[in-house]
Structure 1
Amino acid sequence: MADGGGRKYSCKTASETLEWIHAIIDFLKPYRFFLDDRMWEAVDIEWMNCLRKESVEKLLQIPSGVVQDHWPASLKEFIITSRSLSLPRDQADLQEAFPGLRVASLNNVLAQGMSQKKKHEIETVAAVINSIARRVGAKTMVDVGSGQGYLAQVLSFEHELSVIAIDASSHHGSITEARAKRIEKYYASKARESRSENRGFSTPKTVTCKVLSPAMLKDVSSAFLQLDDLGKPIFSRVEAEGKPLEGIVGSKSPLPCIAIGKSPLVLAGLHACGDLSVTMLRTFMECDEVKAVISIGCCYNLISEEAMHETHSGFPVSTGVKSSSVLLGRNARDLACQSAERWRGLDEAAGIHNFDLHAFRAAFQMVLLKYYPEIIIRNPAIGRQGKALRRKHNRRILESDSNRAESFSQKNHKPVICCTKSFNRDENDPLLNEPSSYTRSSNEGSNSGDRYSKFLKFCLWGLERLGLHDSQKNFLGLWKEAETFADLVGPYWTLRAALGPVLETALLLDRLLFLQEQGFLKASSRTYRVKRRKIRVRAEFDGKVNGALSADFDSRYTDRQKALDAAMNDINNSFGKGSVTRLGSAGGALVETFPSGCLTLDFALGGGLPRGRIVEVYGPESSGKTTLALHAMAEVQRLGGNAMLVDAEHAFDPAYSKALGVDVENLIVCQPDNGEMALEIADRLCRSGAVDLICIDSVSALTPRAEIEGEIGMQQMGLQARLMSQALRKMSGNASKAGCTLIFLNQIRHKIGVYYGNPEVTSGGIALKFFASVRLEIRPTGKIKSVKGDEDIGVKVRVRVQKSKVSRPYKQAEFEIMFGEGISKLGCVLDCADMTGVIVKKGSWYSYGDHRLGQGRDRALQYLKENPLVSEEIEKKVRAAVVEDNGQVSSSFMKSSIPQPQDEDTMFQEMQ
């Protein structure tokens, strides 16, 4: 029942529910401008002139339906009608629905890792699920969207139900299993202490898949229904075409399983996002084994909203709403996630802060539109400043006020749905996740200079999040232009938020009507009391018709595949052949690599440096960065490829390079005048497709033209960072298409004033960090002395793989660099052979097959130096072992690998 000063609505029957939905639709039609941009042009001027003079406290009460006597009649009618059309938020009592319900507090083992809010939810929902399962005679519960398995483990260990935990993330499945094992040990120990060792524990069974249809949900659930005495599922596997099941944790088969026999099930979802709640309802309707559904939905913005002929969209689902041709749109579904109680629960300072923050974001958008129009067209996101800190602060307040839980429940209540019951989330609302830094009162006014300083800080933070570091723009002028309208932000946002409960009601009533149309529900709508939160039970299931869910092939699969093929063909015709392709048919699933010139580094990289990617090598001075790059160029030339050196430091030494194996006669060298010239030349040669490796030495020496032409001492903030950011956006794609590897050598700088943490940063901004597929940190670890010990003849170096998109990161490689000779290749071969087991080391003796290499590392190296054939054989076996373990593909840079011109007939056939 809904009321709020206006007409009362009911949802006891399908006709009453549909009438309620039609009333919402009719109400929303004249106010659609609240869901579109430029809404300020359509809001009644009389409303705004009235509300802009009101206090923050009164504005925050608008979403809850509170009006003032002196407000315009049309404004009061809008707010009161919004309240009357929304589901009521009255306090509830669960004991009325579930006599004898016992909500037990969780022990510290089960509650480990839970926040206070999560702990309260799990305690209450688990008790309700257990009560419903006992009433319908079900011993198996399916936790849909289980996340980290908190609910599944409480139901399994505390309520002794058999639980199947389904989640789309395999990582969550692994966490659930590991956590369940720890909890099982605790309960086993507790059982031994109480001398009840015969008690059997049933840990949750984890399944990893994306639930896209009721058929899939039934098949996955049914696979685990029957267990033998050893706890293993008894089932037969059948081939189910067209069902995109990713697989079951612990099983290599990607096919769903159909159980032998039937058992009653209960479906439950705590915060089942988007369409998942609707899929659970459809499964309940179609599957006889499912006796009850407890769905606590959330994330309405993720609901799919398709055309009326679509049968698997999340809204609308009922025939009555579909016949009305209603489509809400993304903005409306976003707004449905807003909580009126959360607005009402803000104090004056927090309300002022949030209104100011919205004003800052609007003004920041003006900054982007004026100074960075190329950024604004990409719909950038800068996130929520201080979100994590605010959540920790709220959690501490919640824990300290736990003894006042009853009063707290007056502020935090929001409805949910089931075929029986529903909760709603309150974690992702943007308001309480922002830092509250403003303490000024609305009666005191605001210091314009103080607000500007905070806006400036907000802009600099936002620009940094977008990779922009230019602080020389005229922010003051834009802020003065926007500040005159800042007092309108509060009225606009609170009026818009008043529609949130109405839109949420429309979504939930559509789901209720969907079940009522099938004759599944009694005419029942009750409210029950819950400590600190509330549950609204909108309907109870009465019985089920014969609606068994078929496990046959999905009839929509063929149509979907045809539509996909047609779309891909259209894209390839419009943008060129190969614009979109299936990875398996393209033959590009593996990443090609080539040797870096250091075998231990190749071992750490999983095969070598990747082709067509960006690699950053950084470290302190005299650490071996250039030497490592020269060895990589020598390897590329040895394999028949072309290499280029962009010597921005103007420090290239041909004699040293030749000693390292570089073919200096055929090496392409560029010594640019400025950074723009260097990067432009590198990009042009990269696009040619004829160069396989380009090394830029170094990023720090890529001096922008404006800095060279300017005076010494002139501040040039962000020039080099912007230069690198613009260049890398172009070069990354060109390098991938041409198969050209770009190696950027970079230096280390130290931040001034950093007393805690690592002050080291690399020059050139942060763009290179993101575009680089591999980042290598190289540092010297010691010096190598001569035999006599009177002079240094080399350095020991350690390379750490700080980032890798093509192999496992954070591995380390150690090798020696001899002055005048470069990297000690034999030392690398010996170390890698020892790690891979190609060479056997017993004590201090090294052996390879029948060959006894010598006692001690020095004598083994001497043997390899004197026997190059043995050394080459060992190196081949080591590389083969590395490639086999990592699945990499080695490259050979032959002329035939470069695309050759085609004849006209072949080109014409491809165009067709």
Structure 2
Amino acid sequence: MAKKSKVGLKVPTKNEILKKYGGMMRLASETVESNLWLPSTFFALNYTFGGGIPFGKILEVAGEESSGKSLIAYNFAYTCQQLGGHVIWVDAEQSWMNSWAEINGVDPERVTVLNDTRIEYISDAVADLAIYLRSQLTNNEPILLVIDSIAAMDCADNIDSKMVEGKAEMGGRAKALYKYFRIRSELFYRLGVTQIYINQLRTALNVGFGKDNTTTTGGAALKFYASIRAAFYSGRSITVKQKGKERKAGKLVTIRLIKNKVAPPRPTISKCPVYFNPKFHEVGFDRCYALEDVLVENDIIEKSSGGVYKFKGKTLARGEEKFQKLLEDDDELRRKLLKKAEINTIGTTRKKIVALTTNLYPVDGVEYESFNESEDEEEVEDE
């Protein structure tokens, strides 16, 4: 009987490891972070998210109807353009209107709109657009991709088949979305493409008592790939009295953070005024709402039991309404307080971009696979 010999374990050298895996590994201390965040004009939301949305990361905005989901996307589109960037808007719901975009401060000249609902086609189109735009924006300007909405998208097989043929497959959309995120996530991260995916909140069945009974459409892929997930809940209407009649001007919206991988957990923003009617108020979120809470919570502003607000011992205002108005009207004071609270704004992001001397998102060497090519390869492997 042959004698078994033990084979010694060969310890690879550092050079061998670098030669074999050098392209995909490095020390964490050598990682270069851009520290660039796309902010909104809603200061409390920027604080809640940690600065806005980091370049290259994903925000999922899930909510009930008429809860401000599209409005917050328009708001981020506005700030993207203010920073010299470009917006890609996938209009799967066929709801884009230039007039409404302009009311929200968005310039249609710097928005590329895609009208399709097939995930496979959208995947390749946004990849090509992102590479083209990044080749044009060489000074680290933001690129924002908005998908409006996940609920309106589906796989090509389900959309292109006739209802009577019964070819639609359960789970087809979830599979297509999983593949979309799997093959596009790294590309968008390398190109610094900030992404907003608008989704619906729906009621989940068979949920235990006391547990969250809300769920989102499109499967679990977006839940895992998103760095920030926020749920928008619609409240009572805001009315304005005009000519003896009550007119609807907006709604009170509650914003709850479901997930945040880029900042510490922050409190829910409750009953935030959101205005939809330009006749009665500037459209969008009240930018200074809940800012008082943030400033008091971080000990930047002192609030006495009598409702007196002080900054560095100096009295600013008496009463919440007067303090809110002061924040709105006094630009210099507001900027000082925002800087003290380290709340990101368009101005601070612009300074960071201008200070950068290198292009953090070069397109040289960037490769990506077509959605259909990826599908063909998987079919071959399955066979």
Name the TM-score class by shorter chain. Answer: 0.7 to 0.9
- What does residue 126 of structure 2 align with? 682
- CA apart distance, 1:584: 1.4
Q: Is the 1:836–1:881 Cα contact (8 Å) retained in structure 2?
A: no
- What does residue 378 of structure 2 align with? none
Matched residue SS, 2:336: helix
Identify if the C-alpha distance between structure 1 residues 697 and 580 changes in structure 2 by more than 3 Å, giving closer, same or farther: same
Question: Of 703, 724, 731, which residue of structure 1 is paired with 2:177?
Answer: 724
- CA apart distance, 1:824: 0.8
Is 1:584 the equivalent of 2:23? no
Matched residue SS, 1:892: helix
Matches within 5 A, 1:689-838: 689=134, 690=137, 692-712=143-163, 714=166, 715-751=168-204, 758-786=212-240, 790-809=246-265, 811-814=267-270, 815-819=272-276, 820=278, 821-838=283-300
Question: Of 312, 315, 326, which residue of structure 1 is paired with 2:6?
Answer: 326
Q: What residue identity is the alignment partner of 1:733?
A: E
In the alignment, the residues of structure 1 paired with residue 308 and residue 102 of structure 2 have an alpha-carbon distance, to the nearest angstrom, of 35
Identify if the C-alpha distance between structure 1 residues 856 and 653 changes in structure 2 by more than 3 Å, giving closer, same or farther: farther
Matched residue SS, 1:747: strand
In the alignment, the residues of structure 1 paired with residue 264 and residue 313 of structure 2 have an alpha-carbon distance, to the nearest angstrom, of 34
- CA apart distance, 1:847: 3.5
Q: What residue identity is the alignment partner of 1:623?
A: S
- CA apart distance, 1:741: 1.6
In the alignment, the residues of structure 2 paired with residue 787 and residue 863 of structure 1 have an alpha-carbon distance, to the nearest angstrom, of 25
Identify if the C-alpha distance between structure 1 residues 813 and 586 changes in structure 2 by more than 3 Å, giving closer, same or farther: same
Q: What residue identity is the alignment partner of 1:872?
A: R
Identify if the C-alpha distance between structure 1 residues 856 and 610 changes in structure 2 by more than 3 Å, giving closer, same or farther: same
In the alignment, the residues of structure 2 paired with residue 760 and residue 604 of structure 1 have an alpha-carbon distance, to the nearest angstrom, of 21
Q: Is the 2:174–2:219 Cα contact (8 Å) retained in structure 1?
A: yes
Matched residue SS, 1:645: strand
- CA apart distance, 1:724: 0.2
Matched residue SS, 2:30: helix
Question: Of 630, 633, 639, which residue of structure 1 is paired with 2:74?
Answer: 630
Q: Is the 1:594–1:892 Cα contact (8 Å) retained in structure 2?
A: no
The alignment covers a number of residue pairs equal to 341
Matched residue SS, 2:109: coil
Q: Is the 2:131–2:363 Cα contact (8 Å) retained in structure 1?
A: no
Matched residue SS, 2:255: strand
- Normalising by structure 1, we get a TM-score of 0.34
In the alignment, the residues of structure 1 paired with residue 323 and residue 239 of structure 2 have an alpha-carbon distance, to the nearest angstrom, of 19
- What does residue 892 of structure 1 align with? 353
In the alignment, the residues of structure 2 paired with residue 853 and residue 752 of structure 1 have an alpha-carbon distance, to the nearest angstrom, of 51
- CA apart distance, 1:636: 1.9
Identify if the C-alpha distance between structure 1 residues 838 and 625 changes in structure 2 by more than 3 Å, giving closer, same or farther: same
Is 1:659 the equivalent of 2:103? yes
Is 1:650 the equivalent of 2:330? no
- What does residue 309 of structure 2 align with? 846
Matches within 5 A, 1:253-264: none
In the alignment, the residues of structure 2 paired with residue 778 and residue 708 of structure 1 have an alpha-carbon distance, to the nearest angstrom, of 29
Matched residue SS, 1:716: coil
- CA apart distance, 1:604: 1.8
Question: Of 594, 597, 608, which residue of structure 1 is paired with 2:41?
Answer: 597
Matches within 5 A, 1:55-94: none
Matched residue SS, 2:258: strand
In the alignment, the residues of structure 2 paired with residue 638 and residue 779 of structure 1 have an alpha-carbon distance, to the nearest angstrom, of 28
Q: What residue identity is the alignment partner of 1:806?
A: V
Q: What residue identity is the alignment partner of 1:779?
A: Y
In the alignment, the residues of structure 1 paired with residue 300 and residue 108 of structure 2 have an alpha-carbon distance, to the nearest angstrom, of 35
Q: Is the 2:47–2:343 Cα contact (8 Å) retained in structure 1?
A: no
Identify if the C-alpha distance between structure 1 residues 874 and 758 changes in structure 2 by more than 3 Å, giving closer, same or farther: closer
In the alignment, the residues of structure 1 paired with residue 90 and residue 189 of structure 2 have an alpha-carbon distance, to the nearest angstrom, of 19
Instruction: List per-residue Cα deviations over 1:75-124 (Å, max 9, x = no partner).
Output: xxxxxxxxxxxxxxxxxxxxxxxxxxxxxxxxxxxxxxxxxxxxxxxxxx
Q: Is the 2:190–2:361 Cα contact (8 Å) retained in structure 1?
A: no
Identify if the C-alpha distance between structure 1 residues 729 and 899 changes in structure 2 by more than 3 Å, giving closer, same or farther: closer
In the alignment, the residues of structure 2 paired with residue 900 and residue 771 of structure 1 have an alpha-carbon distance, to the nearest angstrom, of 23
Q: Is the 2:178–2:221 Cα contact (8 Å) retained in structure 1?
A: yes
In the alignment, the residues of structure 2 paired with residue 622 and residue 582 of structure 1 have an alpha-carbon distance, to the nearest angstrom, of 46
Question: Where does structure 2 lack aligned partners over 5 or more consecutive residues?
Answer: 365-383
Question: Where does structure 1 lack aligned partners over 5 or more consecutive residues?
Answer: 1-25, 30-322, 330-558, 573-577, 883-887, 903-912
In the alignment, the residues of structure 2 paired with residue 895 and residue 640 of structure 1 have an alpha-carbon distance, to the nearest angstrom, of 16
Q: What residue identity is the alignment partner of 1:892?
A: I
Question: Of 856, 866, 875, which residue of structure 1 is paired with 2:319?
Answer: 856
Identify if the C-alpha distance between structure 1 residues 899 and 762 changes in structure 2 by more than 3 Å, giving closer, same or farther: closer
In the alignment, the residues of structure 2 paired with residue 824 and residue 864 of structure 1 have an alpha-carbon distance, to the nearest angstrom, of 12
Matched residue SS, 1:846: strand
Richer in strand (by share): 2
- CA apart distance, 1:779: 1.3
In the alignment, the residues of structure 2 paired with residue 662 and residue 896 of structure 1 have an alpha-carbon distance, to the nearest angstrom, of 28
- CA apart distance, 1:835: 2.7
Q: Is the 1:750–1:759 Cα contact (8 Å) retained in structure 2?
A: yes
- CA apart distance, 1:726: 0.9
In the alignment, the residues of structure 2 paired with residue 824 and residue 795 of structure 1 have an alpha-carbon distance, to the nearest angstrom, of 11
Matched residue SS, 1:686: helix
In the alignment, the residues of structure 2 paired with residue 697 and residue 890 of structure 1 have an alpha-carbon distance, to the nearest angstrom, of 30
Question: Max radius of gyration: which structure?
Answer: 1
Matched residue SS, 1:765: coil
Q: Is the 2:85–2:143 Cα contact (8 Å) retained in structure 1?
A: yes
Over the matched positions of the two proteins, sequence identity in percent amounts to 24
- CA apart distance, 1:822: 0.3
Richer in helix (by share): 1
Q: Is the 1:777–1:802 Cα contact (8 Å) retained in structure 2?
A: yes
Identify if the C-alpha distance between structure 1 residues 881 and 647 changes in structure 2 by more than 3 Å, giving closer, same or farther: closer
In the alignment, the residues of structure 2 paired with residue 901 and residue 591 of structure 1 have an alpha-carbon distance, to the nearest angstrom, of 20
Q: Is the 2:73–2:146 Cα contact (8 Å) retained in structure 1?
A: yes
Matches within 5 A, 1:379-398: none
RMSD of Structure 2 on Structure 1 (CA): 3.6
In the alignment, the residues of structure 2 paired with residue 659 and residue 847 of structure 1 have an alpha-carbon distance, to the nearest angstrom, of 36
- What does residue 669 of structure 1 align with? 113
Deviates further, 651-660 or 694-703: 651-660
